[in-house]
A and B are shown apart, each in its own frame.
Chain A
Amino acid sequence: MSEHRRGDRVRTSTVDPDHHTRLPAYARGKTGVVIGTDGVHPLADLRARGIEHPQQVYLVRFTAQELFGQGDHSVTLSLWEEYLSDE
Chain B
Amino acid sequence: MSDDHDDSPIAARVRELEAILEEKGLLDAAELDRALEAFAHKASPANGFRVVARAWVDDDFKAKLLENANEALPAVGLSMGGGLQVQRLHVVENTENVHNVVVCTLCSCYPIALLGPSPTWYKSTAYRSKVVSHPREVLEQFGLELPAGTEIRVWDANAESRYMVLPRRPEGTEHLSEDELARRVTRNGLIGTAAV
A contact residues vs B (CB 8 Å cutoff):
17-27, 38-39, 41, 44, 47-50, 57, 64, 67-68, 71-80
| Contact indicator A25/B156 (Cβ below 8 Å) | no
Contacts of A19 in B (CB 8 A): 1
| Contact indicator B4/A20 (Cβ below 8 Å) | yes
Does B133 have its Cβ within 8 Å of any Cβ on chain A?
Answer: yes
CA distance A18 to B4 in the complex (A): 11
| Contact indicator B156/A24 (Cβ below 8 Å) | yes
| Contact indicator A73/B135 (Cβ below 8 Å) | yes
Does B44 have its Cβ within 8 Å of any Cβ on chain A?
Answer: no
| Contact indicator B132/A26 (Cβ below 8 Å) | yes
Contacts of A75 in B (CB 8 A): 132, 154-156
| A73-B152, A74-B154 known; A68+B133 contact, CB < 8 A | yes
Which chain A residue has the least Cβ–Cβ distance from B100? A76
| A74-B154, A76-B155 known; A18+B1 contact, CB < 8 A | yes
CA distance A60 to B29 in the complex (A): 42
| Contact indicator A48/B9 (Cβ below 8 Å) | yes
Contacts of B159 in A (CB 8 A): 22, 38, 41, 44, 57, 77-80
Contacts of A48 in B (CB 8 A): 7, 9-10
Does B47 have its Cβ within 8 Å of any Cβ on chain A?
Answer: no
